[in-house]
Amino acid sequence: MRNSKNGSGLVDGVRRRDVLKGLAGAATLSAIPQGAMAQAAKEAPALAKMTADGKLPALAERIPANPMVVPVEKVGRYGGSLRRGLRGSSDHNGILRLVGNQGLVRWNLAFTEVLPNVADKWEVSADSSEFTFYLRKGMKWSDGKPFTADDVVFSIEDCAKNPDLFKSAPSTLVINGKACTATKIDETTVKIAFAGPFALFLEQLATPLGQYPTLYAKHYCSQFHPKYNTSVADLVKAANLSDWAALFRNKCGDIEIPARWGNVDKPTLDPWVVKEAYTGGTTRVVMERNPYFWQVDTAGNQLPYIDRLTFSISQDVESLMLDAISGRLDIQERHIDTLQNKPTLSQNMQKGGYRLIELVNSSAQQVQIYLNMTHKDPKMREMFANKEFRKALSLGLDRKEIIDLVYLGQSQPYQTGPRPGHPWHNKTLAEQFTGFDAAQANAILDKLGYAKKDSGGIRLRPDGQKVFFAIDVIPTLYPDQVDALELVKRHWADIGVDIKVNTIERALYYTRGDSNDHDAAVWPGPGGLDPMLDPRDYFAHHPQGSRYAIPWTLWYVSGGKDGQEPPESQKQRMKLYDQARATADLQKRGELMKQLFDLTAEAFETIGLCLAVNAFGIAKNNLQNVPAKYPNAWSWPNPGPALPQQFFFTT
Amino acid sequence: MLLFIAKRLLWMVPSLVVVSFLAFVLIQLPPGDYVTSYIATLAASNEVVDQNTAADLRARYGLDQPMIVQYFKWITGIVLRGDFGISFEWQQPVGDLIWERMALTLVLTFSTLLATWGIALPIGIFSAVKKYSIGDYIVTFLSFLGLAVPSFLLALVLMYVAAVEYGQEVGGLFSEQYLTAPWSIAKMIDLAKHLWIPVIILAVSGTASLIRVMRANMLDELHKPYVTTARAKGLSEFHLLLKYPVRLALNPFISTISWLLPNLVSGSIIVAIVLSLQTAGPLLLQSLMSQDMYLAGAFVLLICTLTLVGSLISDILLALVDPRIRLE
């Protein structure tokens, strides 16, 4: 057995002690015979009563013979109701982040290593193309039916790979344009095989988008599937829906849609199951403990500790803030973690009875400026594509002023790249051209042929046009970026470059990017803690995210069929990344990625302002076992990997 | 009269067809489509949509087809099968989503209407009859104050005071234990306990203008010869006021009934959002923002139908109340 690591290593802010503690916990536990663990397990009082009344089978029959043991900081007590807020609609991921993280594997607290979860252990073939997962014997869905290899095979073969349901299979299950095949070896063993090496598969499985193998319960969802139920058309008609795929989605959901939480009958593997569903008309969502949950603490108590979750739905973020400061939310970071809310939340800590928790930003960059190097206008393209021009712009920025004024001094000048402390941190990539040097910037621009200026002091291009471009920014999403850009505008005006801070609505922002109509755009630059999972700033990787050259990303993802052919440096990086993704050996993968970062530094495509600032959240004082610090990311969907099932209330 | 009503009803059909088409076009006008705004919403929390899924979604919802095709698919579903389509966002039939919220909206709007009229009419009459008295100045001042304070601000302040000073829950229309309970006397009482806050907030802004309208109309009528005649004939002052001038001054109130019905859906959206009321408004706004076409389209269609029905009702009522209006 060989556990693969993603090699993000230790990161700044997440303490080494936490990681060691996690490992130590696992080591002591492995000494206890696992069968004995199930025998000795204890359960919540309400469940014990139901068992005594004969309404539930005994605990030993409900949990697997080898339940997952969660190394808890403190053994908790049962009871209580955890309150959290959702905003309006389309906030389904607010539930996913807390509850729905029960994939085959999971992340450790430091976001550096993949640990066993639904799968007890696994084996990887030598070329990293076949993965054999060993499930837990006797594990049950939340309705008490057994969870077996059949469920995993059904989820992948009949659902994720079904063209009616998913026109193309989810990306996490695809390599070299081909979807994986899942095969049942025996009741609790399943093999997932790919057409080529896919060493990153385990990390992908630990992210939310990697939850497909455990998403659908065969005994329940197969009734909405034409392969298993020939009269599914009647059900479709009765539900007033258009086709079986719509019915299936309505009943069994998908990873990232509200309907995942809209059906109280759907069996899940989650610690809490839906009691009051998340539907269009509702104002709150209630979830109650899953009596068949398959995890226990170090003392053998069945998790979760907390009886129920209540998500209240506020249409308005301000009313969420009101709930937070008046102490009506037990743990919350979503929607309230903006920098301007921090003083208000700090002031009201005593009144609201909560503490602040620090969230380590997984992004690299707070404000990444993407000049469109594939601009439709050849003159603009030529200007943006010139590295010297971008270098001059970077040197012309007074980053310290921006950090002091907009980010309250809580950052440092930064270009991009894995965060400081990350084993792959690349100093050149992170720090080149971040010194403020207007004289040098002016000299470069003069040399580039932009020496002539108009009466307003703005430089002119050789064709007589002003050196001017617009930067798209979404004010409702990132008000801080607008503030930062206003300062950038001033700094660049001093070196004779004029910009327009183009504040637009978010759908328009995306539409302009999709049709390659933007001059430039800003966005927080990802890839600080998760460079393998989101490398969009290191080469043209993301068709909606690598905004400096979206046609190049189309070329990359379509295998050369669409988009525009990128320059040599990009092509090398695309190849290096594909190699790294197929390399299980961390050492070797790191070497490949370091080559990639060197090329990125050499090409210098994006201009960054400062290191992404840490966010924060609140936790009530009586809520225990909440780590004081954890990552803030989508791939590490906080707070889920901090295991909320082992949070508990002291009173 | 019956012929008039029949004719008006027939006219509604072509109007609705035109309106439904315009509504559909308008909803589609902003850049992007449901999938773009879905991706954008998730990206706002730094969440990522699988690239394959995004392309799938467009094809599944027919967003890659020309708009006219999408419109015909939608409208034929409604006309032939009464099927308003599926909400993209919720994967639920649109019909279920809309009716669920309409009942509460109805209760809120009519309570607000009663409160507004109940406050505005007597005060309007009073300040017309006692023109330029101290009482007139006081009620006028207060009503202008009510008009000037934005209702969402009033709602926020009320919520803040209740939450921070008294630790009380203000938002919503029900206490927690009644949220999903079936209807009962206890639940109605609970609703009444919560309803007064939004009703007052909404009524405060509405009364001021109505007071002014009522006052102005009354002043017009009070000095007309028929009032003098009636007074000379010895009619008591109270009886006289209610019998003639008030009845005529009510005309603008009745004419605006046609605006009132669409308000059922679209009125008071901001207050409903701030107070987390489970009325139709927030759902309409959300569907427009996420470009959830079928849901938004159904709402707009509903609003238009209500406007048409409302203007018919106000025409009929006007004919009944105002002797000067004839239908032929």
Q: Is the pLDDT of residue B44 over 80?
A: no
User: Does B163 contact A at CB distance below 8 Å?
Assistant: yes
Distance of alpha carbon A570 from alpha carbon A537, whole angstroms = 12
pLDDT in tens, A133-149: 999 999 999 999 999 99
Question: pLDDT band for position A113 (50/70/90)?
Answer: confident
| Residue linked to tokens 């009619």 | B235
**Long-range residue pairs from A579-588, CB within 8 A, at least 24 positions apart, any chain:** A580/A532, A581/A198, A581/A199, A581/A200, A581/A532, A582/A128, A582/A196, A582/A197, A582/A198, A582/A199, A582/A200, A583/A128, A583/A197, A583/A199, A584/A2, A584/A4, A584/A124, A584/A128, A584/A197, A584/A199, A586/A4, A586/A5, A586/A6, A586/A7
pLDDT in tens, A223-242: 999 999 999 999 998 888 88
Nearest to A87, CA basis, from B54, B56, B151, B44:
B44
Q: What is the dihedral of CA A565, A568, A574, A577, to 10 degrees?
A: 180
**Do the beta carbons of residue A177 and residue A559 sit within 8 Å?**
yes
Q: Which residues of A167-184 are buried (b: 16+ CB within 10 A; e: fewer)?
A: bbbbbbbbbeeebbbbbb
Question: pLDDT band for position B167 (50/70/90)?
Answer: low
User: Does A81 contact B at CB distance below 8 Å?
Assistant: no
Task: Name A115's bridge partners.
Answer: A106
**Closest in B32, B163, B180 to A510, CB measured:** B32
**Do the Cβ atoms of A258 and B180 come within 8 Å?**
no
pLDDT of the residue at B266: 66
pLDDT in tens, A190-210: 999 999 999 899 999 999 999
- Percentage above 90 pLDDT, chain A: 70
User: E-strand spans in A486-612?
Assistant: 498-503, 520-525, 606-608
Nearest to A485, CA basis, from A536, A520, A461:
A520
Q: Is the pLDDT of residue B121 over 50?
A: yes
Nearest to A342, CA basis, from A329, A328, A356, A354:
A356
Distance of alpha carbon B122 from alpha carbon B127, whole angstroms = 9
**Closest in A170, A322, A511 to B50, CB measured:** A170
Structure tokens at B49: 């949509």
Q: Is the torsion defined by CA of B117, B121, B122, B123 positive or negative? A: positive
Chain A residue numbers with beta carbons less than 8 Å from the beta carbon of B60 are: 167, 245
**pTM: predicted TM-score of the whole model, two decimal places:** 0.82
Distance of alpha carbon A429 from alpha carbon A598, whole angstroms = 7
User: Does A544 contact B at CB distance below 8 Å?
Assistant: yes
Q: Is the torsion defined by CA of A88, A91, A94, A100 positive or negative? A: positive
Nearest to A426, CA basis, from A594, A605, A606, A607:
A594
User: Does B95 contact A at CB distance below 8 Å?
Assistant: yes
Chain A residue numbers with beta carbons less than 8 Å from the beta carbon of B36 are: 507, 510-511, 514
Mapping DSSP onto H, E and C, the string for A59-128 reads HHHHCCCCCEEECCCCCCCCCCEEEEEEECCCCHHHHHHHHCCCCCEEECCCCCEEEECCEEEEEECCCC
pLDDT in tens, A528-557: 988 998 899 999 988 888 999 999 999 998
Q: Is the pLDDT of residue B280 over 50?
A: yes
| Residue linked to tokens 């896919």 | A198
Distance of alpha carbon A483 from alpha carbon A501, whole angstroms = 10
Question: pLDDT band for position B92 (50/70/90)?
Answer: confident
> Which helix or strand (DSSP H or E) is residue B87 part of?
strand B86-87
Chain B residue numbers with beta carbons less than 8 Å from the beta carbon of A316 are: 273-274, 276
Q: Averaging pLDDT over each range in A419-433, B56-70, B298-312, which range is the top one?
A: A419-433
Cis check: omega of the bond before A258, within 30 degrees of 0: no
How are beta strands A354-361 and A629-632 bridged, if at all?
A: parallel
Distance of alpha carbon B252 from alpha carbon B263, whole angstroms = 17
Question: pLDDT band for position A125 (50/70/90)?
Answer: very high
pLDDT of the residue at A31: 41
Alpha helix (H) residue ranges in A207-271: 218-221, 232-238, 244-252
**Do the beta carbons of residue A222 and residue A229 sit within 8 Å?**
yes
pLDDT of the residue at A396: 96
Per-residue pLDDT, averaged over B30-40, amounts to: 79
Q: Averaging pLDDT over each range in A257-261, A617-621, B211-215, which range is the top one?
A: A617-621
Distance of alpha carbon A142 from alpha carbon A264, whole angstroms = 11
Q: Is the pLDDT of residue A402 over 80?
A: yes
Nearest to A490, CA basis, from A501, A481, A505:
A501
Distance of alpha carbon A289 from alpha carbon A296, whole angstroms = 13
A212 SS3 class: helix
Q: Is the pLDDT of residue A173 over 70?
A: yes
Question: pLDDT band for position A376 (50/70/90)?
Answer: very high
Half-sphere exposure of residue A170: CA atoms within 13 angstroms, side-chain side: 25
Q: Is the pLDDT of residue B250 over 70?
A: yes
pLDDT of the residue at A10: 36
pLDDT of the residue at B158: 81
Cα A304 to chain center, whole Å? 24
**Closest in B30, B96, B282 to A507, CB measured:** B30
In angstroms, the separation between the Cα of residue B148 and the nearest Cα of chain A is 22
Q: Averaging pLDDT over each range in A164-168, A388-392, B252-256, which range is the top one?
A: A388-392
Distance of alpha carbon B172 from alpha carbon B188, whole angstroms = 14
